[in-house]
Amino acid sequence: MVPGSSAAISIQLIGANIEQIGRASQELARRMNSYEGLYDIRNSYERGRPEIKLNVKPEAEALGITLQDLASQVRAGFYGTEVQRIQRGQDEVKVMVRFPREERDSVGYLDNMKIRTPNGGRVPFHAVAEVELTESPTFIRRFDRERAVRVSAEVDKERVRAQENPGRHHEQGIARGAGAVPGCPFQA
């Protein structure tokens, strides 16, 4: 049993690549579902929120455009930039400028975006950057500075009588399958 878990079976997958660990945890949960007598199977892996990762092309660097320049211009287009504050009685109103809503709803609009260069010119986004769609984790659990995901289950001891300790029997069998996933050491 993994320290800090009260479940009858608790297996922790550990590694640097969260996507690989996530796939392994889903496979592990699927295997656990195939064992009679296991119930309340839980997987701590959660898919993250969609995230846009910008990569600067060498052409951008030649024009003097940095990743910070690129990111701030993309953020300003999608989330807005404060251009003025107006006092209305007791309240202060921020005036924000950003792309129209229909252009903010799709990452595809980046293809039409123009990026300002340090000398005042404008170049197409696709000429200076690439977009990679990834996921940012909702939270990161770590064990010994590596990312960790826990898969656990309860055991119905009336239905499982394979050994004196049915939880340990299932845990060892399931963990053998988990160990087959490259890059994901496990702790049972």
pLDDT, position 16: 79
- State how far the Cα of 1 lies from the Cα of 56, in Å rounded to an integer: 46
Q: Is the pLDDT of residue 1 over 50?
A: no
- State how far the Cα of 143 lies from the Cα of 14, in Å rounded to an integer: 7
Q: Considering Cα of 160, then 162, then 166, then 171, what sign does the dihedral take?
A: negative
Q: Considering Cα of 119, then 123, then 125, then 126, what sign does the dihedral take?
A: negative
pTM flag (> 0.85): no
Q: How many CA atoms lie within 13 A of 24 on its CB side?
A: 28
pLDDT, position 63: 94
**SS3 (DSSP) at 104:** helix
* CATH fold for domain 49-76+102-136: 3.30.2090
pLDDT, position 136: 65
- State how far the Cα of 25 lies from the Cα of 101, in Å rounded to an integer: 38
- Sole residue written with tokens 């892996």: 45
Contact by Cβ (8 Å): 126, 54: no
| Residue 74: how many other CB atoms lie within 10 Å | 19
User: pLDDT tens, 19-61?
Assistant: 788 888 888 888 888 888 888 898 888 766 777 889 999 999 9
pLDDT, position 185: 56
* Stretch 96-114: mean pLDDT: 82
User: pLDDT tens, 128-183?
Assistant: 999 887 766 555 666 767 778 888 888 888 777 654 454 455 555 565 555 555 55
How many residues can be counted in the chain? Answer: 188
Which of these, 42, 51, 45, lies nearest to 17 by C-alpha position? 45
Spell out the domain ranges in the chain.
9-48+139-187, 49-76+102-136
Joined tokens for residue 98? 């950003």
pLDDT, position 110: 83
Joined tokens for residue 2? 């993994």
Selected from 3.40.640.10, 3.40.50.720, 3.30.70.1440, 3.20.20.30, the CATH number assigned to the domain covering 9-48+139-187 reads 3.30.70.1440
Q: Give the pairing of strands 81-88 and 129-136.
A: unpaired
| Residue 73: how many other CB atoms lie within 10 Å | 19
Joined tokens for residue 84? 């003025």
Report the alpha-carbon angle 51-55-61, nearest 5. Answer: 150
* Stretch 73-101: mean pLDDT: 90
